[in-house]
Amino acid sequence: MTNSSKKRGLLTISFKLNQEDYTMEINSDERLLDLIRNRLGLIGTKESCGGGECGACTIIMNGLAVNSCIIPAARADGAEIITIEGLSKGMEDELHPLQKSFLEKGAVQCGYCTPGMLLSAKAFLDQNSGREVSREDIKEAISGNICRCTGYQKIVEAIYSYALERKGNN
Partner 1 sequence: MNYTNLGKDTPILDGLEKVTGRARFVPDLKVEGMLYGKVLRSPYPHARLLKIDTSKAERVSGVKGIITGNNVSQHRFGTMVPDWVILPRDKVRFHGDEIAAVAANSEEAAAEAASLIKVEYEELPAVYDPELAMAEDAPQLYEDKENNIAVTFNVHTGNVDDALAKADLVFEETYETNQVYQAHMEPMGALVVPGDYERLIMWLSTQVPSMSRLRYAEALEMCSEDLRIIKPHVGGGFGAKFEYKSHILAAVLTRKTGLPVRMVNCREEDFRAGNPRVPMKIWVKLGLKKDGTLLAKDTKIIAGNGARTVYAPAITSTACYRIDSLYKFQNVRSTGYTVYTNTIPTSCFRGFGNAQMHFAMESALDTICHQNNLDPIEIRKLNGVTPGFTSIHGWEINSCALKECLEKATQESDWYEKKKEADQKGPVKKGIGVAICNHVSGNRPFYKPFDGSSSLVRLTPEGKAIVFTGEADIGQGMNTTFALIAAEAVGLNVKDVRTAAVDTDISPFGLGSFATRGTTIGGRAVYEAAINLKKQLIEHVARVYEKQAEEIKINNGKIYFAGNEEPLPVAEAMQQISYTLGGTSLVGHGVFVPNTVLPDENKYGNVSPAYPFACHIAEVEVDTETGKIRLLNYWAVHDVGRVLNKQTLEGQIEGGVMMGAGWVLGEDMVLKDGALVNPNFHDYCLPTAMDIPRGKIYSYFMESDDPNGPFGAKGIGEPSLNPVPAAIANAVFDAVGVRITDLPITPEKILAGLDI
Q: Which of 45, 58, 67, 68 binds partner 1 (CB under 8 A)?
A: 45
Rounded CA gap, 25 and 67, in Å? Answer: 21
At CB < 8 A and 24+ separation, what contacts does 9-13 make? 11/74, 11/77, 13/73, 13/74, 13/76, 13/77, 13/78
- For ligand FES, the binding residues in 82-141 under the rule CB under 6 A are 108-114
Nearest distance in Å: CB 67, partner 1: 11
**Binding to ligand FES by residue 43, rule CB under 6 A?**
no
Q: Is 52 left (phi over 0), alpha (psi -120 to 50) or beta?
A: left
By a kind-dependent CB cut-off of 5 to 8 A, residue 1 interacts, out of partner 1, ligand FES, none, with partner 1
- For partner 1, the binding residues in 121-150 under the rule CB under 8 A are 138-140, 142-150
By a kind-dependent CB cut-off of 5 to 8 A, residue 57 interacts, out of partner 1, ligand FES, none, with ligand FES
Output the 3-class SS for 150-164.
CCCHHHHHHHHHHHH
Stretch that binds partner 1, among 10-18, 60-68, 73-81, 108-116 (CB under 8 A): 108-116
